[in-house]
Amino acid sequence: MVTIQDVARAAGVSPATVSRVFNGGNVTAARAESVRQAAAELGFAPNRLARSLRKQQSSVIGLIIPDIENPFFTSLARGVEDAAQRTGMSVVLCNSDEDVEKERRYIDIVMGEQMAGVIVAAASRDRTDLSPLMARGMPVVAVDRRPHDADVDAVMVDNQHGGEVATRHLLRAGYQRVACITGPAGASTSEERLAGYRSALRGELGNDSGDPARAASYIRHADFRVEGGRAAMQELLALPEPPDAVFVANNLMTVGALQALREAGQAPPGVGVLSFGDVPWASLVRPSLTTVELPSYDLGRTAAELLLQRMAGSAALLQTVVLRTTLKPRESTAGPSQA
Amino acid sequence: MVTIQDVARAAGVSPATVSRVFNGGNVTAARAESVRQAAAELGFAPNRLARSLRKQQSSVIGLIIPDIENPFFTSLARGVEDAAQRTGMSVVLCNSDEDVEKERRYIDIVMGEQMAGVIVAAASRDRTDLSPLMARGMPVVAVDRRPHDADVDAVMVDNQHGGEVATRHLLRAGYQRVACITGPAGASTSEERLAGYRSALRGELGNDSGDPARAASYIRHADFRVEGGRAAMQELLALPEPPDAVFVANNLMTVGALQALREAGQAPPGVGVLSFGDVPWASLVRPSLTTVELPSYDLGRTAAELLLQRMAGSAALLQTVVLRTTLKPRESTAGPSQA
DNA sequence: CCCGCCCCTGAAAAGGATTTCTTCCCTGAG
DNA sequence: CTCAGGGAAGAAATCCTTTTCAGGGGCGGG
């Protein structure tokens, strides 16, 4: 490896001078030029490890997401990246795979590599532990999911409100038995979307919301994946009185639910389907899917901006930014009579 | 930050001993225990920067891909990650965004951070420059796309063969005027798939392949993105004698092509559509899409395994592994009469 | 003409972990 | 009983860069 020493020797100066050339110190033009030339000839690239070790900071920020195959998170990642690039930072992506253990390992790496900051979409509300990061004073921003006890900046989606609007939309379209497939019990997004669903039921149906046992049986917790959504939908369809509409709390599970529906010989809008979060290629799906659109890109962008503020030390108080969702009514919730 | 010195002081030993406890040197059991306890109490996590700097190696491998929003690459990333995890390595992902400049920056980072190795799906065949990596003796594996002049291990897809099989399938289904939307002229994947298309035309049509000018006008270079595919399809449909089938060289452009088709009031299989690479949620698309399936996950897995071999020094000669594609005939290429 | 100040430069320390080198002590064999 | 050998632990060097400190030279002002 070619080091700053080699360059210094080649240019006939001290290592300190070479460093100054690259970091903007006071060096006479002629000398600077000869250093630059020597560096180019030798193919010198500063060792970022040594640099970060010495400066106690790096220009890399970590982004930990739970599912790299979910377009929601890749779009979010793009938002983070674009915002970071604008200030010369680079982003490295860590896929925790909804696994708290893997996530812990990546958190160790983020700390160990002395990254400048980290944006986390937590794998679990209760079991994700950000405290080591906090203890090190590392800038942290939570995105999409807020870990239970962490005092960090956060960028969220108005899950409950979105869930409420979605469910109300189904009810008003004329569906009578609206079910809900939500995510794992541990996740904040699951719970909030479910809370929105419940609140809409209460609001629209009043107190005569019927059999509470039946109401409970219409709620399913799955894993935010395609297979989980499919299994949950199969269970719902097997009920003695199956639902005539379903509010699915994320995009991947919606795909699974649609598969299960098709296998059972049914289809929207006969059974209403509403997805929380965009299904990519939604434009190609027939009937087109009603969705609650999430500002995934902006979620990422905002999180990155917050992190950069925090890193610059300009943000004093903790902030929580909540972004709005938008209901996009399409064919899949046209109403039970439109089957 | 709590350093090895702090732990040493707390445990009443030297830093060297602490290091030995964590890296498997000879330390008496009692002392080792007290060190471990002190470390736990202080919340000590070794500074990976310092460690890597000293050891001249890290346990992180870089993965540079051109489009994080393309499911093909995320699936590939999963393959890499799973293989790496198995040996205790971690993967950080860099999104070059098909941009050679961004890619160069990430290559700098990979080198500067002294990562253990790197897997690259190059943004450009001609302009991607892996030579700095080679010069440093860093283990490198090219995946999916082979940079022009690089002597590196590679894991590829049999693009030409796949393109040939796909095009032949369209011709045999009865389509007369088969067009091709391929990727940027600079990319190896574009060229090879196009070559397959051409070779199939020659093979099936013999020498009477008609007007060479028309043949050329049926070929479009786009950018591997949705919008590019749509624009290319619009151009094709605007021809005086529009094609009655199209072979699209990647999944995203296929989505765009389908959109353009729909806007023009047409649909498969009246106009045959065949996608090179899976379109996610393909099962939800009607009519279902004929695709050439790519072993994206295995591509990643194999690349990682190759890289690990190379890192271990056990692979002497350069290897190029070529994985097979599979044609999955579905409804979208049923034939022109099936419209 | 001299003094003081500023600019440029090099020497050396710092940053945190690993590893070599050295020392010390204990055990076992002759 | 003595000596060789080996295991355990500390001191110090090392990895590469940045940054502080100190010194030297030139220039302007008094």
**Structure confidence by residue, pLDDT tens digits, B84-132:** 988 888 888 899 988 999 999 899 888 888 889 999 999 888 889 998 8
Instruction: Give the tens place of pLDDT for each residue, A319-336.
Output: 999 999 999 999 999 988
State the smallest CA–CA distance between residue B108 and chain A in angstroms.
8
Query: To the nearest whole number, what is the mean pLDDT of chain B?
Result: 89
**Residue B120 domain-assigned (yes or no):** yes
Q: B291 and B166 in one domain?
A: yes
Q: A135 and A216 in one domain?
A: no
Using the predicted structure, report yes or no on whether residue A172 has a pLDDT greater than 60.
Answer: yes
d(CA A172, CA B17): 70
**Residue B48 to residues A108, A131, B51, B333, Cα–Cα distance (Å):** 9, 19, 5, 54
Sequential DSSP letters for A12-53: TS-HHHHHHHHHT----HHHHHHHHHHHHHHT----HHHHHH
Q: What is the pLDDT of residue A282?
A: 67
* Number of CB atoms found within 10 A of residue B322's CB: 11
Which of chain D's bases lie under 7 Å from a protein CB? 7-12, 14-20
Instruction: Give the tens place of pLDDT for each residue, B312-333.
Output: 877 678 999 999 999 999 999 9
Q: Which nucleotide is nearest to B2 (CA to C1')?
A: C16
On chain A, the residues whose CB falls within 8 A of the CB of B81 are 95, 97
Mean pLDDT confidence for B309-313: 85
Question: A182: exposed, middle or buried (C-beta count within 10 Å: 0-12, 13-18, 19+)?
Answer: buried
Q: B63 and B148 in one domain?
A: yes
Mutation site, A3, A102, A113, interface B, largest B CB count within 10 A: A113
- Determine the distance between B234 (CA) and D3 (C1') in angstroms: 94
On chain B, the residues whose CB falls within 8 A of the CB of A69 are 71, 74-75, 78
Using the predicted structure, report yes or no on whether residue B64 has a pLDDT greater than 70.
Answer: yes
Q: What is the pLDDT of residue A88?
A: 81
On chain B, the residues whose CB falls within 8 A of the CB of A102 are 85
CB A304 within 8 A of CB A298: no
On chain A, the residues whose CB falls within 8 A of the CB of B75 are 69
Q: A282 and A185 in one domain?
A: yes
Q: B26 and B87 in one domain?
A: no
**Residue A183 domain-assigned (yes or no):** yes
Instruction: Give the tens place of pLDDT for each residue, A2-12.
Output: 899 999 999 99
On chain B, the residues whose CB falls within 8 A of the CB of A81 are 95, 97
Contacts of A11 (CB under 8 A, 6+ apart): A17, A18, A31, A34, A35, A37, A38, A39
Q: Which nucleotide is nearest to A8 (CA to C1')?
A: C10
Query: For position A104, which CATH number holds?
Result: 3.40.50.2300
Mutation site, A68, A105, A106, A285, interface B, largest B CB count within 10 A: A68
**Residue A239 domain-assigned (yes or no):** yes
Residues near chain C (nucleic strand), Cβ < 7 A? A 12-17, 20, 25-28, 31, 50, 53-54, 56; B 1, 3-5, 15-16, 18-20, 22-23, 25, 44, 46-47, 50-51, 53-55
Residue B25: pLDDT band (50, 70, 90) is confident
Q: What is the pLDDT of residue B234?
A: 97
**Residue B5 to residues B30, B42, B44, B46, Cα–Cα distance (Å):** 19, 11, 10, 11
Using the predicted structure, report yes or no on whether residue A269 has a pLDDT greater than 70.
Answer: yes
Using the predicted structure, report yes or no on whether residue A206 has a pLDDT greater than 70.
Answer: no
> Do A78 and B94 lie within an 8 Å CB cutoff?
no
Q: A259 and A116 in one domain?
A: no
- Total domains present in chain A: 3
Q: Which nucleotide is nearest to A26 (CA to C1')?
A: C8
Q: What is the pLDDT of residue A311?
A: 87
> Do B68 and A90 lie within an 8 Å CB cutoff?
no
**Residue A226 domain-assigned (yes or no):** yes
Instruction: Give the tens place of pLDDT for each residue, B216-270.
Output: 889 999 999 889 999 999 999 999 999 999 999 999 999 899 989 989 999 888 9
Mean pLDDT confidence for B142-165: 92
Mutation site, B2, B6, B49, interface A, largest A CB count within 10 A: B49
**Residue B223 domain-assigned (yes or no):** yes
Q: A81 and A207 in one domain?
A: no
Q: What angle do CA A127, A131, A132 make, to 5 degrees?
A: 115
State the smallest CA–CA distance between residue B283 and chain A in angstroms.
8
Q: B12 and B83 in one domain?
A: no
d(CA B65, CA B230): 23
Q: What phi, psi does A274 have (nearest 5°)? A: -130, 125
**Residue B52 domain-assigned (yes or no):** no
d(CA A301, CA A81): 8
Mean pLDDT confidence for A170-179: 94
Q: B141 and B170 in one domain?
A: no
d(CA A253, CA A222): 8
Query: Which residue on chain B is closest to A75 by alpha carbon?
Result: B69
Q: Which nucleotide is nearest to A16 (CA to C1')?
A: C10
> Do B46 and A280 lie within an 8 Å CB cutoff?
no
Beta bridge partners of B95: B65
Low-confidence winner among A246-250, A276-280, B6-10, B176-180 (lowest mean pLDDT): A276-280
Mutation site, A111, A284, A332, interface B, largest B CB count within 10 A: A284
Low-confidence winner among A78-92, A196-210, A214-228, B144-158 (lowest mean pLDDT): A196-210
- Determine the distance between B133 (CA) and D22 (C1') in angstroms: 40
d(CA A63, CA A115): 10
Q: Which chain B residues 45-74 have CB under 7 A to strand D? A: 50, 53-54, 56
Residue B306: pLDDT band (50, 70, 90) is very high
Q: What is the pLDDT of residue B206?
A: 59
Q: What is the pLDDT of residue A315?
A: 65
Q: A315 and A268 in one domain?
A: no
Characterize the bridge pairing of strands A290-293 and A326-328.
Answer: antiparallel
Query: Which residue on chain B is closest to A62 by alpha carbon?
Result: B92
d(CA A142, CA A125): 11
> Do A47 and B281 lie within an 8 Å CB cutoff?
no
More confident residue, B43 or B18: B18
Q: A163 and A226 in one domain?
A: yes
Using the predicted structure, report yes or no on whether residue A100 has a pLDDT greater than 70.
Answer: yes
On chain B, the residues whose CB falls within 8 A of the CB of A133 are none
- Domain of residue B272 covers 159-295+327-338
Q: What is the pLDDT of residue B108?
A: 86
State the smallest CA–CA distance between residue A321 and chain B in angstroms.
25
Residue A199: pLDDT band (50, 70, 90) is very high
Please name the residue whose C-alpha is nearest to the C1' of nucleotide D14.
Answer: B54
Using the predicted structure, report yes or no on whether residue B205 has a pLDDT greater than 70.
Answer: no
Q: Which DSSP symbol is given to B43?
A: T
Q: Which DSSP symbol is given to A278?
A: P
**pTM for the whole thing?**
0.85
Query: To the nearest whole number, what is the mean pLDDT of chain A?
Result: 89
**Residue A187 domain-assigned (yes or no):** yes
Residue A238: both structure tokens together: 């097997």
> Do B78 and A93 lie within an 8 Å CB cutoff?
no
On chain B, the residues whose CB falls within 8 A of the CB of A285 are 281, 284-286
Please name the residue whose C-alpha is nearest to the C1' of nucleotide D7.
Answer: B26
> Do A286 and B281 lie within an 8 Å CB cutoff?
no
State the smallest CA–CA distance between residue A200 and chain B in angstroms.
29
**Residue A51 domain-assigned (yes or no):** no
Q: B333 and B200 in one domain?
A: yes
Give the DSSP H/E element, type plus range, for residue A291: strand A290-293
